[in-house]
């Protein structure tokens, strides 16, 4: 699994990592701050952050004595483009189906009018 998109989706498959990403969407935080709400060690949260970092979702910066974790929003552009591509294709299929169903409905209406005459 070497492509970025696969790494991103794999990283976000874990609910703890998704929660960390959601929290980082509002503000940068230290590893200790990110670990606080969980009933796991700081080291366990650090492992989650390492997965997110390898996927390109977060970066860590050293700010004085603290290591801040920052969400990299550009990665979401990659995911959004991928999802949007398939959403558009699905929407086009639904539009074609709607057109076929509308045509079938029109044909039924025409047939019923012809039988009523």
| Per-position pLDDT tens, the chain of length 117 | 468 899 999 999 999 999 999 999 999 999 999 999 999 999 999 999 999 999 999 999 887 677 899 999 888 888 899 899 888 888 998 899 888 888 888 777 777 776 766
Asked if 28 contacts 75 with a C-beta cutoff of 8 angstroms, the reply is no
* Residue whose tokens read 């366990």: 44
- pLDDT for 2: 65
- pLDDT for 116: 66
Q: Which residues pair with 67 in a beta bridge?
A: 62
- pLDDT for 42: 92
The closest of 80, 65, 75 to 25, measured between CA atoms, is 75
Instruction: Spell out the CATH class of 4-72.
Output: mainly alpha
The closest of 8, 7, 40 to 21, measured between CA atoms, is 8
Separation CA 69–CA 19 (nearest Å)? 14
- pLDDT for 57: 96
């Amino acid at each position: 699994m070497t492509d970025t998109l696969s790494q991103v989706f794999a990283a976000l498959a874990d609910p703890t990592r998704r929660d960390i990403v959601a929290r980082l969407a509002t503000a940068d935080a230290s590893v200790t701050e990110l670990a606080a709400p969980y009933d796991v060690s700081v080291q366990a949260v650090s492992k989650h952050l390492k997965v997110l970092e390898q996927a390109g979702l977060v970066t860590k910066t050293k700010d004085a004595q603290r290591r801040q974790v920052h969400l990299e929003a550009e990665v979401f552009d990659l995911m959004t483009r991928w999802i949007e591509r398939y959403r558009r294709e699905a929407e086009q299929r639904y539009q074609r189906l709607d057109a076929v169903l509308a045509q079938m409905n029109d044909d039924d209406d025409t047939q019923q009018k012809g039988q009523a005459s």
